[in-house]
Amino acid sequence: MNLRVTFALLALALPHPAAPTFAAEPAPQPVTVGAAWARATPPGTAVAAVYLTLSGGSRADRLVGAATPRAEMAQIHVVSEADGMAQMRPTAGVDVPARGSVALAPQGTHLMLMGLPQPLVAGERFPLTLQFEQAGKVDVNVEVRAPGTAPPPAH
């Protein structure tokens, strides 16, 4: 038996360093993001809102930011009512409870895209990166839907 074959047999006999280890605890499940969409924007409109659903993983997390190549800036906005008028304001984050679900939906919390160089066209999709405290960056695709009859909420 030559030396090369002997080394090959030795390598087979040794425990493989990448062999799976069976931990007592299951791997933590991160937050997941579903059904991200935005309304198409008329030409010349510099802002758009993105809606989506956050589904909590095995531990609580917090959405703390977003970015997309389609806008200069993205903020998390909450809607509150003052003197009968709905008002939006930026907020630092959205808590996602473990195994809970949080919907960012029209008339409520949303992601505000500001500084759109081009309009969002119905039928297209664009990438959006969400930033979470625990899960880090999560990439999603935003579906652009035809504008409905309801006017977008005023800032």
Instruction: List residues binding Cu ion (CB under 5 A).
Output: 77, 88, 112
CB 93 → Cu ion: shortest distance, Å?
Answer: 15
Cβ proximity to Cu ion: between 102 and 112 the closer is 112
Cβ proximity to Cu ion: between 104 and 112 the closer is 112
Specify whether the CB–CB gap between 139 and 86 falls below 8 A.
no
CB 133 → Cu ion: shortest distance, Å?
Answer: 22
CB 110 → Cu ion: shortest distance, Å?
Answer: 6
The residues facing 140 across adjacent strands are 128
Q: Under DSSP, is residue 13 helix (H, G, I), strand (E, B) or coil?
A: helix
Cβ proximity to Cu ion: between 88 and 105 the closer is 88
d(CA 52, CA 9): 54
φ, ψ of residue 88 to 5 degrees: the values are -105, 145
